[in-house]
Amino acid sequence: MSSTRLDWEEMQTEREQVLQGWPTGNAVRLEEAVAYHRALPVGKRFPQAMRVAQAENLVLLQPRAGVPLIDEHIKLLKYLETEGEADVLPTTIDAYTRQNRYTEAARGIEMSLAERHALLNGFPAVNHGVDGCRKIVESVGRPLQVRHGTPDARLLAEITLAAGFTSFEGGAISYNIPYAKDVPLEKSIRDWRYVDRLAGFYEDQGAAINREPFGPLTGTLIPPCIGNAIGIIEGLLALQQGVKSLTLGYGQGGNLIQDLAAMHALREQAHEYFRAAGFVDFHLTLVFHQWMGGFPEDEAKAFAVIALGAAVAALAKAEKIIVKTPYEALGIPTKEANAQGLRATRQIVTMLQDQVVRTDHEAMRRESDLIKSEVKCLLDAVWQAGEGDWARGVVRAFADGLLDVPFAPSIYNRGRVLPMRDNEGFIRLFRSGALPFSAEIRDYHRERLEERARAERRPVGFQMVTDDIYAISKGRLKGRPR
Amino acid sequence: MTAGPPHCIVLGVIGADCHSVGNTILDAFFTDAGFKVVNLGVMVSQDEFIDAAIESDAKAILVSSLYGHGEIDCAGFRGRCIERGLGGVLLYVGGNLVVGRRPFAEVEAKFKAMGFDRVFPPGVDLDAAAALLRADIEEAAHARA
């Protein structure tokens, strides 16, 4: 296990095997694909859109969307482009494809055709193949990204990149630990090294591809240091394989100061670690995810959650925001609801576009310094565990609980860490498991939680965690005693 | 709390679904409520639910589905239970069971027709669900006696 750059020639044997994983793999033609990318109009290139966003101080709006049938999917994306004014578009992949269960995805397509409504929760891109995916690229006027949750995304990447998608979400940790039950990290690291190397190959050929590690992880009260540390590691692994356009993500936590501090810390430390590793030729941007936890059912309240996220993204100068919908509590939204979330977000980010909130006041600086020192503890431990190799370090760090993602389903995650909000709603650590923090950091978290316990006249305990998880869906930030 | 040994229930998230947060909470809740919980976690197949129920002599199987593929994943579950000699086990299902916004009554009817004893929408009161579960288990025991 190591994170050195894969040799492209050596990778060809593996590519042949991967492309045989489903009959549509045969249609991948790299030379043709590269030529297609190079001929794409500028307005359909994701890395270019991210550059413009940074240069012009814009927050690009991106929805999530994916349905099983090609024509329906195109209709949906065009609607989000016109009625929703989305700047960049997604294709969200269904859950069977994410687990490489293409036979079941095929059945989902057939049943959706027969019953005339969607039976899959996304677009099964591998089953539809290069030509099917290219129809989408041809039909819309915006850059397209593959959004999914696939531990082994090699075939999905081959097909969608060959079709002309210019951005690909995910990473070895962020698309394994929160999205799989029993995929060893050694395997997902190898498989994502392949994906990053493939993206790096396109990049080398003059066909720029944007890569985006999935910042929010399980989307459930993730302490900023855990998401930031994992994002920085996945960024390093991608850069090592030749990726140049990188977007790191952060999921809204809900406390305004903590969210701004975390975004600030993420940008600063990512640059610091990438440069320290010797990378200079890269373009880094940030994506902010509106609240990823449970939403209120009441649409008016859901809009308020969306609006708060939009405000934080704008003030944090995120280059992109992933937008939720007023139907979030009820499952997959209609296209109308999806466009409504986009329009509400647009109003806010535009109003805040030129406003600047100072990040150098005390509360913000204290939180940002705390996050940075926690991230440093985590990354130092991974580096040491890997004896100077990030990939090896990740495997060992998860085994020892030095990295640990709250509420993740993977058996390769220790699952000893439990987060909880403090009295002001900052996400703190109730149980920090084996996370390699100093006594000073642990004590600070404990003190802040004790402060809340006193205010609520109840002991710090698991019930508070449960209350916090459902709090926003019930109309407040912190869970309060019943 | 009833006398005697705790009722055993099997818990899990079906299909290719990896939503693990609610599963963690249901496990903690039903354990606290006095049930013996066999929690299979996420991405559980019909046969894995049934194997666990046979092994643990469980009275009920609680199936969660959050990602919209519930209709495909749950099809034939009751039939499979009968085939495996578990025809009398209580089957509960809950979550975001279908893709898109469809009236809950329609969803409930669909899953009841598949042989589920109770169907729950998102946001159910857990205390009420536990009371129903206890009553259903005891009624089933009486019916057999």
What domains can you pick out in chain A, each with its CATH number?
13-352 (3.20.20.240)
Residues A154, A194: Cα–Cα separation, whole Å: 7
CB pairs under 8 A between A and B: 83
Any A CB within 8 A of B124 CB: no
Residues B92, B112: Cα–Cα separation, whole Å: 10
Which of chain B's residues have a Cβ under 8 Å away from the Cβ of A98? Answer: 16
Cα nearest neighbour of A97 on chain B: B16
Which of chain B's residues have a Cβ under 8 Å away from the Cβ of A100? Answer: none
- Whether A99 sits inside 8 A of B71 (CB atoms) is no
pLDDT of residue A1: 59
Which of chain B's residues have a Cβ under 8 Å away from the Cβ of A94? Answer: 69
pLDDT of residue B102: 84
Once rounded to an integer, what is the mean pLDDT over residues B131-138?
A: 96
Does B5 or B94 have the greater pLDDT score? B94
- Whether A104 sits inside 8 A of B72 (CB atoms) is yes
Contacts of A10 (CB under 8 A, 6+ apart): none
> Would you give the end-to-end CA distance of chain B in angstroms?
21
Once rounded to an integer, what is the mean pLDDT over residues B9-30?
A: 93
Catalytic residue among A81, A169, A212, A234: A169
Cα nearest neighbour of A332 on chain B: B100
Active site residue B125: no
Domains and CATH numbers, chain B: 8-144 (3.40.50.280)
- Segment A259-296, tens digit of pLDDT: 999 999 999 999 999 999 999 999 999 999 999 999 99
pLDDT of residue A358: 81
Length of chain B: 145
E strands in A216-335: 245-251, 283-289, 320-322
Whether the CB-CB separation of B24 and A413 falls below 8 Å is answered with: no
- Whether A101 sits inside 8 A of B18 (CB atoms) is no
- Segment B68-111, tens digit of pLDDT: 899 999 999 999 999 999 999 999 999 999 887 789 999 999 99
Active site residue A169: yes
Residue A271: alpha-carbon gap to chain centroid: 18
> Would you give the end-to-end CA distance of chain A in angstroms?
49
pLDDT of residue B3: 57
Read off φ and ψ for residue A167, nearest 5 degrees.
-150, 145
- What percent of chain B lies above the pLDDT cut of 70? 98
A70/chain B closest Cα distance in angstroms: 17
Cα nearest neighbour of B66 on chain A: A331
Q: In which residue are the tokens 């609607």 written?
A: A79
pLDDT of residue A61: 98
Sheet of A89-92: strand order equals A60-62, A320-322, A283-289, A245-251, A210-212, A167-169, A144-147, A89-92
Closest CA to A1 of A171, A154, A191, A227: A191
User: Splitting chain A (482 residues) into consecutive groups of 10 residues, what average pLDDT does each group show?
Assistant: 84 98 98 98 98 97 98 98 98 97 97 93 98 98 98 98 98 98 97 98 98 97 98 98 98 98 98 97 98 96 98 97 94 92 98 88 95 98 97 98 96 94 97 95 97 94 90 94 74
- Whether A120 sits inside 8 A of B69 (CB atoms) is yes
Helix A462-471 and helix A439-456, axial crossing angle in degrees, nearest 10: 80
pLDDT of residue B4: 74
Query: Which among A98, A407, A474 is the top mutation candidate for probing chain B, defined by the most B β-carbons within 10 Å of its own β-carbon?
Result: A407
B145/chain A closest Cα distance in angstroms: 38
- Whether A96 sits inside 8 A of B41 (CB atoms) is no
Whether the CB-CB separation of A332 and B65 falls below 8 Å is answered with: no
